[in-house]
């Protein structure tokens, strides 16, 4: 009788231990399913390279396990399902069938789902790194069943999915991390503005950042550097001044103001007798990143933006659908595509010169070739270049213009006149 009682007592405690193990095991699998599968490979790679020392260590342990996502998912779900199915069997040996179902559902719901998932959703990285070796063992145990199912999922859904942010999404993410957003981010306003400007720079072209010819200070090559012209050059405060021939839209080169230091105004030296450097010519739809890369080479920090006539369509400028003569319209009566993307400052620049047509000129090369790189313009032996009937200069772009688009703010120097709100 005593032996039978001890056997029943030992069997009861074994059932209780097994039930406890199954509930904890099911909870672990459920929590890991949420904790590990919710972290993308990109997130883990970012943490492994630039996270805190603890996060780097945890991410390095988890990455090898998570790389085969479908295999890991099948393993966790198979183990979770096996433990939940086995739980009523052991409970049935202690209580009635209805009681076993009721208790098993309660235990699984509370201790196998709600609590583990709540914990792993907040501390999934640390928990996943701790149990990563154990998960590896489970993957090998369930491999005969999990591998075929994972390969079927790879075939149907794709082997891997890298969740990278698009440019607009990344810009929004940066804005959310700014301290002005009030979400605890540590990025300052200047940092978020510069990052946003760098992301937008790839969609902007020379036309977006240039200074129109109507606002550009340029001098005639046949002019004389007398006292009035020298005074005017100094008042403008530019380090480089474009030089035109016959017409302001025929920019043929530029002069460096520092080269005029040795010239006396009383001598009235002709402009063509000083050192005139060649100025690069770029199409109006050349991306600003390409222009910035060329500026960095040091050949020139100024370029002339060209408009090509062959690919232009004559547009009505006197009348527009909204009776606004300042708004450029295309042949369909809509705003110009560039105008829709421009900021207020860019729009003011763009509207300051006459409308010439639709920007459809496609450059043959996005890089400046050697023959148009900045160099001294030889005018003694060669005739001056005349205006090409198929193209004309519509603006001037400088390194400062590109940097302003990057910073999304105006850059003022000592000679600029602006309103000081402070």
Structure tokens at 147: 């591998």
Where do the domains of the chain lie, and which CATH numbers do they carry?
Answer: 2-157 (no CATH), 167-200 (no CATH), 204-407 (3.10.580.10)
| Confidence at 413, pLDDT banded by 50, 70, 90 | low
- DSSP bridge pairs for 307: 392
pLDDT given at position 75: 94
| Confidence at 23, pLDDT banded by 50, 70, 90 | confident
For residues 337-351, give the mean pLDDT. Answer: 46
Judge contact between 223 and 242, C-beta under 8 A.
no
Structure tokens at 13: 């405690």
Structure tokens at 243: 């030089």
pLDDT given at position 333: 35
CA distance 44 to 117: 19
pLDDT given at position 323: 35
Note if the pTM is more than 0.85: no
How many of the other CB atoms lie within 10 Å of CB of 225?
A: 21
Judge contact between 276 and 356, C-beta under 8 A.
no
pLDDT given at position 160: 62
Segment 218-255, tens digit of pLDDT: 898 888 888 899 889 888 888 889 988 888 888 888 88
CA distance 45 to 178: 23
| Confidence at 139, pLDDT banded by 50, 70, 90 | very high
Angle at 280 between CA 274 and CA 286, to 5 degrees: 160
Judge contact between 34 and 73, C-beta under 8 A.
no
Structure tokens at 91: 């409970």
Rounded percentage of the chain residues whose pLDDT exceeds 90: 8
Judge contact between 254 and 279, C-beta under 8 A.
yes
**DSSP notation for 265-286:** GGG-EEGGGS--B---EEETT-
φ, ψ dihedrals at 249, nearest 5°: -85, -5
118: pLDDT strictly greater than 50? yes
What H or E segment, with its residue span, contains residue 396? strand 391-398
């Amino acid at each position: 009788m005593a032996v039978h009682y001890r056997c029943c007592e030992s069997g009861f405690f074994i059932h209780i231990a097994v039930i406890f193990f199954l509930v904890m095991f099911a909870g672990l699998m459920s929590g890991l399913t949420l904790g590990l599968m919710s972290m993308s490979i990109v997130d883990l790679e970012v943490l492994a390279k630039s996270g805190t020392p603890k996060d780097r260590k945890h991410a390095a342990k988890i990455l090898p396990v998570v790389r085969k996502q479908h295999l890991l998912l099948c393993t966790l779900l198979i183990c979770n399902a096996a433990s939940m199915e086995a739980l009523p069997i052991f409970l049935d040996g202690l209580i009635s069938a209805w009681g076993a179902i009721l208790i098993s559902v309660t235990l699984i719901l509370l201790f196998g789902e709600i609590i583990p998932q709540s914990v792993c959703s907040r501390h999934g990285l640390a928990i996943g790194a701790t149990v990563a070796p154990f998960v590896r063992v489970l993957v090998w145990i369930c491999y005969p069943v999990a591998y075929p199912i994972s390969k079927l999922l790879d075939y149907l859904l794709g082997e891997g999915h890298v969740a990278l942010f698009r440019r607009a999404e990344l810009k929004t993410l940066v804005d959310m991390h700014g301290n002005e957003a009030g979400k605890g981010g540590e990025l300052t306003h200047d940092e978020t503005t510069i990052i946003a400007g760098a992301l937008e720079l790839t969609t902007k072209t020379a036309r977006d950042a240039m200074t129109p010819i109507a606002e550009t200070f340029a001098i005639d090559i046949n002019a004389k550097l007398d006292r009035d012209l020298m005074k005017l050059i100094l008042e403008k405060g530019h380090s480089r001044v474009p030089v035109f021939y016959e017409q302001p839209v025929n920019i043929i080169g530029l002069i460096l103001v520092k080269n005029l230091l040795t010239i006396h105004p009383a001598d009235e030296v002709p402009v063509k007798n000083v050192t005139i450097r060649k100025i690069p010519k770029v199409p109006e739809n050349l991306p600003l990143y390409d222009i910035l890369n060329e500026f960095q080479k040091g050949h020139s920090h100024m370029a002339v933006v060209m408009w090509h006539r062959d690919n232009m369509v004559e547009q009505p400028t006197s009348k527009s659908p909204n009776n606004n003569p300042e708004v450029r319209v295309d042949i369909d009566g809509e705003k110009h595509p560039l105008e829709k993307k421009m900021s207020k400052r860019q729009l003011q620049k763009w509207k300051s010169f006459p409308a010439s047509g639709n920007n459809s000129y496609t450059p043959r090369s996005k890089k400046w070739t050697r023959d148009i790189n900045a160099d001294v313009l030889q005018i003694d032996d060669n005739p001056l270049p005349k205006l090409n009937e198929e193209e004309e200069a519509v603006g001037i772009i400088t390194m400062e213009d590109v940097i302003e688009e990057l910073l999304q703010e105006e850059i003022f120097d000592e000679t600029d006149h602006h309103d000081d709100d402070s």
